[in-house]
Amino acid sequence: MSFPAIMVLLVAVTGLIWLLDRLLWAPKREKDIDEPVVVEYARSFFPIILLVLVIRSFIAEPFRIPSSSMVPTLHIGDFILVNKFAYGIRLPVLHSKIVDTGEPERGDVIVFRYPKKPKDQDKPDVDYIKRVVGLPGDRVGYFGKTIYLNGEPVGQEVLAVDEQALPGYFETRFEHLGDDGHYIVVDSDKRPLEGEMVVPEGHYFVMGDNRDNSNDSRYWGTVPEENLVGKAFLIWMSWDWNAGGIVWNRIGQSID
């Protein structure tokens, strides 16, 4: 059972116990008799659990970065916050959109549920994080480590070889995608998967910033709108065992 499902269940159980006590049991209880322990716990924990559920479901949710697919933007051990209302307010567990608040823009870093359904599950529930490259209707190509949008190459500037960020021969580049652009890394010795496709309506083409080490839309296709979780916007904690623990200079960085 997923964490949101557990939270919804706890809210329902504690809320029901508290309500039944207020309506049925408390009026019949003698004044000098203490309320049952289960009622006391339900009354105490219900508002706390409800508040956590509301914040995580509709405002912001924390995530931990488990892989290097978004280097140099995000590192393994980064803990980030995701804006849950950027692309619509959705019901927890059901993921049904109840209020439309916006759509992803090219260049956004998004969290989404992996669109391929696992064999042993009814719905995909594995969260991925990537950058939006193609919007619905775009013709997206990737050739020679360069993105092509509707036939036009996305500009890049080669900045440096970054031996510290990752082992091997990696170039750091600045890519002019979206309004502000962002940094990416490419492995000059690795041949990427190349090709072109048109993004279907209601879908998004996503890629990792670590272009030659990312499992993304080049391999498994586009992300449907109903799989969106939210927009990543802040690193609130970063932990690196090799660096001795907390990486202080990454805390508080915005995600662009």
Kind and range of the H or E run holding 133:
strand 127-134
Any catalytic annotation for residue 69?
yes
Any catalytic annotation for residue 130?
yes
Set 68, 69, 217, 238: catalytic member: 69
Parallel, antiparallel, or unpaired: how do β-strands 203-207 and 182-187 relate? unpaired
Q: How many whole angstroms separate alpha carbon 238 and alpha carbon 256?
A: 17
Set 57, 68, 84, 130: catalytic member: 130
Give the single-character DSSP code of 23: I
Q: How many whole angstroms separate alpha carbon 107 and alpha carbon 111?
A: 13
Alpha helices in the chain (DSSP H): 3-20, 26-28, 37-58, 217-220
Helix (H, G, I), strand (E, B) or coil at 78: strand
Give the single-character DSSP code of 200: P
Mutual angle of helices 37-58 and 3-20, in 10-degree steps = 140
Q: Active-site residue numbers?
A: 69, 130
